[in-house]
Amino acid sequence: MTVGEFALPQSWGSDRRGPVRWIASHVARHKLFIVGVLIGAFGNATLAAAVPVFIGRAFDAVVASPPDLRRLAITAGLLVASQLVRGVLMLGRNFSAEVIGQRLERDIRDELYVSLIGKSMSFHDMQPTGDVMARATNDVREINLMANPGVNLVVGSANFLLMPIFVAPTIHPHLLLSPLIYLLAYMISVRSYLRQLRPATERVRREFGEMNTVLAEAIDGIETVKGAAQESREIGRFMRTVTGWRDAYVAQGDLEARFIPLLLMGLVQAAGFLHSLLLFRAGAISVGDVVSFNGLLMLFGFPTFVAQFAYSQVSSGLASARRILELINAETELDQNVGGYDAPMRGAVAFEHVTFGYRALGRPGQDGRDAVALEDVSFRVESGQTVAIVGQTGAGKSTIVKLINRIYDVGSGRVLIDGVDVRDWNLEALRRQISIIEQDIFLFSRTIADNIAFGCPDATREEIEAAARAAQAHEFIVSFKDGYDTVIGERGVTLSGGQRQRLALARAFLTDPRILILDDSTSAIDSATEDRIQRAIERASADRTTFLITHRLSQIRWADLIIVMRKGRVAAAGTHEQLLRESQAYRNIFTRDGGGRQTIDDRR
């Protein structure tokens, strides 16, 4: 088992053994900015602690008899200078934290994208698109916010917690008691708070993913929703997921509202004030020391108030990191097999007792149950032959061709190309020499030329136009204002079904594959255009192995081999004439419609 189908290039390796290790390995790449955050946080806290110390000295200078104005002026000057330096350090700290956060988001987004592109179709079949998009966008953003302001505030607040511990004993050793008690109580309460916060933030991220899944499904299937007049039902379904997300967010807010350190801070300030007054009454400290000490206790206000937000942000970021790592670490059944067989392909294909089942939908890293699609399928195709695969809907026709280029791997048995198990081929070399055109054509939101050249990006404009002419697409392409530079809509929605299929054929012709697979690729083309494309396919099929999945008798007739599928098994195989004579199953799939035309009956 491997993490990805393709080991795509990455300049460095992150530590994926856990969310904290993973994020730390990313952050560790930016050592200079880490130093900037640490120095800035320590300098900010130190100079913040200098404020009550200087104010205490100013009090002593004022209440002295006579008032020491020179000392007061020096103290005021030092106070102003210290805060100017503090401002510079805070700027450097916040700049460093922001750079780390933005680079963290960039690097994690790149790593996730590379991982998703490299994973197999069996993996993507099991992932709801909306949830994957939520992880790739919102969850990645949460990790950025975890770094800044989240961790930035946590580091800063930690230094503020330590300053009273270090400075108070310089005023009087007994004054260490109150801040030390608060620090211990703070650590215990925060630890308990984080344990309760983790499931709450994970629930928020999970509910957001489910809400995004429902939204993506509704938008992707908007034509079906409107065609069935189910807008109200889909709105209600979406509102239920929004309510679930809202309830999870409110539950997290309720937990944050019960932040115990807020109460502890009030108690320690009252106790510290009383303690300092008792020491002053005993003559152990001056009035300025009382002011300084209580000013130091006020430093606890920053970590107490920001921690309520900062720790929540860190917990949310870690929850998002776990969700992203689930995708990245999810193992897939295919591997790139870099050292595998990669010779030029002749195109001979053999199936030997192949059984395969589709994996049921599951969450990342989880396996579902297999639904058997093929069972004990065996046949042999010689190089350069044209093969037609026919049968009822759901018989396993499309599944067969997806095993040839290892979109999926067999459950048992073997698929051989040129006598070599496809699992022993270098995956890139295997797929580079096979082209498949499916009925559901996917086109990108790019120019027509870019879509045709997708599998052959170095093709010249002349080569692109030649492929388009062969696929009978040139005429409609040049009818557009921008011709081959026309940008088509997402998934090719601005084109008709027939136009999309002709562009897909042009894409296949341009790659010049050794094995050409046409999965009902002329279903949306009119008869006149089909005749021209049929002749183009015949020319393209010369000297290469071609698989046709079609219901049109005109295409089935000229195949060298016809394979009849029934309920996932090979019911018969042979030429058209042989099967008409010898196979009742083959004869049964032909019938006469009302117009007298021969078609394949897909009824069970």
Distances (CA, A) of 379 to 348, 400, 415: 11, 11, 10
Task: State yes or no: pLDDT of 360 exceeds 60.
Answer: no
Cis-peptide, bond into residue 149, ω within 30° of zero: yes
How far is Cα 171 from Cα 264, in angstroms, rounded to an integer? 23
Q: What is the mean pLDDT of residues 250-267?
A: 86
User: Taking Cα atoms as reference points, which of 384, 429, 382 lies closest to residue 405?
Assistant: 429
Task: State yes or no: pLDDT of 13 exceeds 60.
Answer: yes
Q: Note the pLDDT of residue 126.
A: 79
Q: Note the pLDDT of residue 200.
A: 92
Print the SS3 string covering 530-556: HHHHHHHHHHHHCCCEEEEECCCHHHH
| Inter-residue contact 156 to 44 (CB < 8 Å) | yes
Q: Note the pLDDT of residue 10.
A: 57
| Inter-residue contact 40 to 93 (CB < 8 Å) | yes
Q: What is the mean pLDDT of residues 281-292?
A: 94
According to DSSP, the residues that pair with 130 across neighbouring strands are: none
CA 137 to chain CA mean position, Å: 7
Residue with tokens 């920001």: 306
Sign of CA dihedral 249, 254, 255, 257: positive
pLDDT tens figures, 73-108: 999 999 999 999 999 999 999 999 999 999 999 999
Residue with tokens 């290790």: 21
288's tokens? 């300025």
Which of 172-176, 271-275, 596-600 shows the lowest mean pLDDT across its residues? Answer: 596-600
Instruction: State the pLDDT confidence band at 5, using cuts at 50, 70 and 90.
Output: low
Q: What is the mean pLDDT of residues 11-21?
A: 83
Query: What CATH class is the domain 441-512?
Result: alpha beta
pLDDT tens figures, 369-394: 467 889 999 999 999 999 999 988 88
DSSP state of 493: T
| Inter-residue contact 560 to 348 (CB < 8 Å) | no
Instruction: State the pLDDT confidence band at 336, using cuts at 50, 70 and 90.
Output: confident
Q: Note the pLDDT of residue 365.
A: 45
Better-scored residue on pLDDT, 483 or 602: 483
Sign of CA dihedral 478, 483, 484, 486: negative
How far is Cα 561 from Cα 301, in angstroms, rounded to an integer? 81
How far is Cα 466 from Cα 62, in angstroms, rounded to an integer? 93
Residue with tokens 């966008």: 137
pLDDT tens figures, 210-249: 998 898 888 878 878 888 888 898 899 999 999 999 999 9
Q: Note the pLDDT of residue 44.
A: 95
Distances (CA, A) of 97 to 36, 105, 136, 369, 403: 8, 12, 22, 46, 49
How far is Cα 408 from Cα 416, in angstroms, rounded to an integer? 14
pLDDT tens figures, 449-478: 999 998 888 899 999 999 999 888 899 999
Task: State yes or no: pLDDT of 2 exceeds 50.
Answer: no
Q: Which backbone phi and psi does 599 adopt, to 5 degrees?
A: -140, 170
Q: Note the pLDDT of residue 53.
A: 95
522's tokens? 């002329």
Fold (topology level) of 104-329? ABC transporter transmembrane region fold (1.20.1560)
According to DSSP, the residues that pair with 350 across neighbouring strands are: 380, 416
Better-scored residue on pLDDT, 545 or 556: 545
> Domain map of the chain by residue range?
104-329, 441-512
Q: What is the mean pLDDT of residues 41-66?
A: 93
Task: State yes or no: pLDDT of 400 exceeds 80.
Answer: yes
| Inter-residue contact 296 to 167 (CB < 8 Å) | yes
Better-scored residue on pLDDT, 600 or 138: 138
How far is Cα 293 from Cα 431, in angstroms, rounded to an integer? 73
Q: Note the pLDDT of residue 3.
A: 53
CB neighbours (10 Å) of residue 102?
13
Residue 376 backbone zone (phi > 0: left; psi -120 to 50: alpha; other: beta): left
What average pLDDT is seen over the chain?
86
How far is Cα 414 from Cα 374, in angstroms, rounded to an integer? 12
How far is Cα 336 from Cα 347, in angstroms, rounded to an integer? 20
Q: Where are the beta strands (DSSP E) in 23-126?
A: none
Q: Note the pLDDT of residue 199.
A: 92
Better-scored residue on pLDDT, 528 or 202: 202
Q: Note the pLDDT of residue 7.
A: 53
Task: State yes or no: pLDDT of 12 exceeds 90.
Answer: no
Sign of CA dihedral 114, 119, 123, 124: positive
